[in-house]
A and B are shown apart, each in its own frame.
Chain A
């Protein structure tokens, strides 16, 4: 079937079976490789994207369920931030989302494979709760269809990076 997706602020037309999980459409048809295949079971969070501002697991979302919804992938975070801040287009291309900047500052990734979902979840959390407590941060990563999993043990660094991102966002206000 033909489906119209609104991905990272752009309309994209896709031809694929209605039951195709969004993840495969993003990676194979739209060449957006931020979301990763981790389990295909909604059990790890590596594939997370924002759908209308909420974290969702793209590995189990049928294409038909996201038609005409606003989808943001890791690639779209800078643009999302630029729009929220009213930055001009040239400035937007130069700017990282504060969450991405914090992930660099705090040297969060080890292998980095799970970090897409970790950053997407941080973004969703901070848009709702700009100054989260440590418990609120942990709870964000424990809620949803499953906890977000990291094999390399970067959980502590993630908590610190979310706090850092919160500070960066507050400064930008």
Chain B
């Protein structure tokens, strides 16, 4: 018989004694269930959360080692392998090294699901709470075992002491099967996954000894010695290699699949499902060559329904439907902006444009689908929301999630593309596997990945700023226009005509997957008396017109939505500061009472070597073959973290070449979990931001994306790296965990554009700052085209 006790809303069960080993398994109970009845049973049944070991958050073993499990998928920023272990070790009072294994993402082996973004804000808090419940249960066990009152016990490095006695966690669990059920809420296969409920006692930040230290990423050795099991390495018995022949355009339907020359490709096979054409073969090279041969004779309808990238912003302004979607308004709106603008001594008005950009992983998406004869489906992939993918695959096949398992491997980072479950190749691998009755590995080629994946949405913003004679902002008015940002439909399923969720539309029940353009960039200039920010949303470009229902599909990318709103805001503030004759950092400081914003602005001013003066620079020039230089600043609040960034640039007006010489950033996340890894995340973000600012723009014609390789979609190279300086400001007393792996990219784009203005005296109000566009700006033509 089991004995049961309740600890802060969690339930501890002690079962029969076992002779060797012993573990404490922390599993689940759903809130609202009777806590003990069915405790730790899977909320969604088979292949989900095993009532014994595989569904648990932690296993604490008799040898004092601990296994930790999370549904979040670390794709290189190291948070699950460093910060998560620090959070858990801290709450459990065990050494960091005691956590010897991290299980990540696999839908049948991890507990919580949800998207892999905002690691500290979401998954990290689940782990902290789960660890806090576990710690309380261990204290209770120790109190019983030692015969000492719980209040007399202290724990250090996994050793429990009190009343002159001591024991270890390992000894406490030895010889027993213990099961702790903790309360959770939510929907496992939804965007957000499950959340640990209740309020167990947590360790105060003032007592932290592990959080705040710089631990190395434990995955690095396997990645540099080729021992890592990458998604690209998955090989199953009888597996076939697959390639997809994607439609000719983003709206083409299939007329006839090309014939396969069996003399040339004796082992290959063509699969057609709806408008999806695939080729499989036992050898990868045969699959590639056969698919190229079949593609050459496959016939498609023609389609033209896109404006083309050169006309995009004119089209968005004049032709897009901004009326069918409710307008979002900022919750920081106040005063009467219209009246304040009218009475302002000086007003500044400008429009800013952003292009479509790509997630652009270095390796194209790849997945192995294994549809088995018993009806179960295994998917091996690299994906940021495996539980959501599981739900979508079940929907596509018209089956239950019980039959679908997603396994996760390391892969090329794609920065948000799959946080709704869809990286690209997974559904196609399953469709082909089901058709041929064998496991199929679908590897997209480079053009597939650029032309058939989602993109970070383009947009434009109209900004109006009113100023008084003292250089104070009296009114700020922003209207942001952006097509739907998050299309999570499986594209292979769409092409094949299989069930998917609906495409983004004006449905307020789907705040992320809708056309609603919510205000994503928190207003931080608290002293401004009159503020209005509006978000206008519309359908994805070409999606409704495409007979395939595809068009230019969008998806959130690093600092999603906020990049599109922060870039125009911060660049406009820098331009308005110049109009007011005030230094751009001083200008920001005088518009806010927010001490954390003031802190990062002052820190970045000091660290960057900022010259306090009005822009443009006294030496600014828009002509000549000599180098002119400039400085620019930007600031942001994202996921509880305050950021300020300064970029120094050089411009050669005659060539239009822009070089970023220095990138300086100050960051205040509240609690700093791991300074070393935070710095690395920021450095990576900085360079991605340079890439956005200088190079990245998806090109497309009336039929589809024309960016098809690294020559037609260039990204930053080593020749372009600046000096990077990161200033980390720690505020543990706030007790909050701000995010660290986003924002640095988004801050770069406006700071670089502001520095360009400082250097040349000419505003560039669209990205990227490529030579041809820069020369247009410098020759005096309009900053926006």
Q: Which residues of A contact B (CB under 8 A)?
A: 16-17, 19-21, 24, 27-28, 32-34, 36-41, 43-44, 46, 73-75, 78, 96, 100, 103-104, 107-116, 119, 138, 141-142, 146-159
Contacts and interface: CB of A to CB of B under 8 A. Distances in A.
Given A32-B226, A78-B225, A112-B224, 12 more contacts: A16-B283, A28-B284, A107-B220, A113-B230, A113-B361, A114-B412, A142-B717, A146-B710, A149-B710, A151-B360, A153-B686, A156-B721
Most buried by A among B75, B283, B285, B688: B285
A136 to B, nearest CB: 12
Interface in B683-733: 683-688, 691, 709-711, 715-719, 721, 724
Given A24-B285, A142-B719, A110 B363 contact: no
Contact of B362 (A19, A34, A44, A108): A44
Contact of A112 (B223, B284, B717, B719): B223
A147 B717 CA distance: 7
9 contacts: A20-B285, A36-B232, A111-B413, A112-B223, A147-B717, A151-B361, A153-B687, A154-B683, A157-B683
Given A36-B230, A153-B685, A43 B709 contact: yes
Contacts of B284: 24, 28
B18 interface: no
B443 A37 contact: yes
B77 interface: yes
Contacts of B494: none
A14 to B, nearest CB: 12
Given A33-B230, A104-B221, A110-B684, A153 B716 contact: yes
A35 B715 CA distance: 21
B285 A116 contact: no
Nearest to B75: A111
Q: Which A-B residue pairs are the 5 nearest by beta carbons?
A: A153-B687, A111-B76, A111-B413, A34-B226, A110-B76
B391 interface: no
B114 interface: no
Nearest to A105: B216
Contacts of B216: 104, 107
Given A16-B285, A40-B445, A159-B718, A107 B680 contact: yes
Contacts of A27: 232-233
B676 interface: yes
Given A100-B224, A119-B224, A159-B718, A39 B710 contact: yes
Contact of B680 (A28, A110, A149): A110
Chain B interface size band reads 35 or more
Contacts of B355: none
A46 B364 CA distance: 12
Contact of B76 (A21, A34, A44, A152): A152
A154 B684 contact: yes
Nearest to A46: B362
Contact of B223 (A40, A44, A115, A156): A115
Contacts of A151: 360-362, 412-413, 415, 688, 715
A138 B718 CA distance: 6
Contacts of B415: 151
A102 to B, nearest CB: 9
A116 to B, nearest CB: 7
Contacts of B223: 109, 112, 115
B330 interface: no
Q: Which among B230, B283, B684, B719 has the greatest number of chain A C-beta atoms within 10 A?
A: B684
Given A110-B413, A142-B719, A151-B362, A103 B220 contact: yes
Interface of B: 75-78, 216-217, 219-221, 223-226, 228, 230, 232-233, 235, 283-285, 360-364, 366, 410-413, 415, 443, 445-446, 676-677, 680-681, 683-688, 691, 709-711, 715-719, 721, 724
B684 A149 contact: no
A115 B238 CA distance: 30
Contacts of A17: 285
A20 B446 CA distance: 18
A25 B176 CA distance: 51
Contacts of B446: 38-41, 43
A19 B285 CA distance: 9
B77 to A, nearest CB: 6
A157 B362 CA distance: 17
Contact of B363 (A41, A46, A159): A46
Contacts of A34: 226
Contacts of A114: 362, 412
B362 A113 contact: yes
Contacts of A100: 224-225
Contacts of B366: 37
Contacts of A112: 76, 219-220, 223-224, 228, 410
User: In the complex, which of the residues B221, B224, B230 has the most CB atoms of chain A within 10 Å of its own CB atom?
Assistant: B224
Contacts of A138: 718-719, 721
A18 B240 CA distance: 21
A92 B256 CA distance: 57
A36 B364 CA distance: 11
Candidate in B217, B411, B412, B445 with the most chain A CB atoms within 10 angstroms: B412
Given A46-B363, A113-B413, A21 B684 contact: no
A43 B711 contact: yes
A39 B285 contact: no
Contacts of B411: 111, 113
Given A20-B285, A39-B446, A107-B680, A149 B220 contact: no
A33 B360 CA distance: 22
B718 A39 contact: no
A154 B224 CA distance: 14
B362 A38 contact: yes
A38 B413 CA distance: 12
A155 to B, nearest CB: 5
A84 to B, nearest CB: 18
A112 B445 CA distance: 19
A142 B711 contact: no
Contacts of A104: 216, 220-221, 224
Nearest to B413: A111
B362 A155 contact: no
Nearest to B220: A104
A149 B719 CA distance: 11
A96 B680 CA distance: 23
B224 A109 contact: yes
A103 B709 contact: no
A27 B220 CA distance: 21
A107 B676 contact: yes
Contacts of A38: 362-364, 412, 446
Contacts of B232: 27, 33, 36-37
A149 B273 CA distance: 36
A38 B216 CA distance: 27
B723 to A, nearest CB: 9
A153 B718 contact: no
B226 A33 contact: yes
B718 A158 contact: yes
Given A21-B285, A100-B225, A155 B410 contact: no
B718 A148 contact: yes
Given A109-B223, A119-B224, A149 B709 contact: no
Contact of A152 (B217, B688, B709, B711): B688
Residue among B362, B363, B709 with the highest chain A CB neighbour number at 10 A? B362
B240 to A, nearest CB: 12
Contacts of B75: 111
Contacts of B77: 110
A46 B232 CA distance: 12
A130 to B, nearest CB: 20
For A16, A138, A146, A155, the residue with the greatest tally of chain B CB atoms inside 10 Å of its CB is A155
Given A36-B232, A73-B226, A111-B75, A41 B718 contact: no
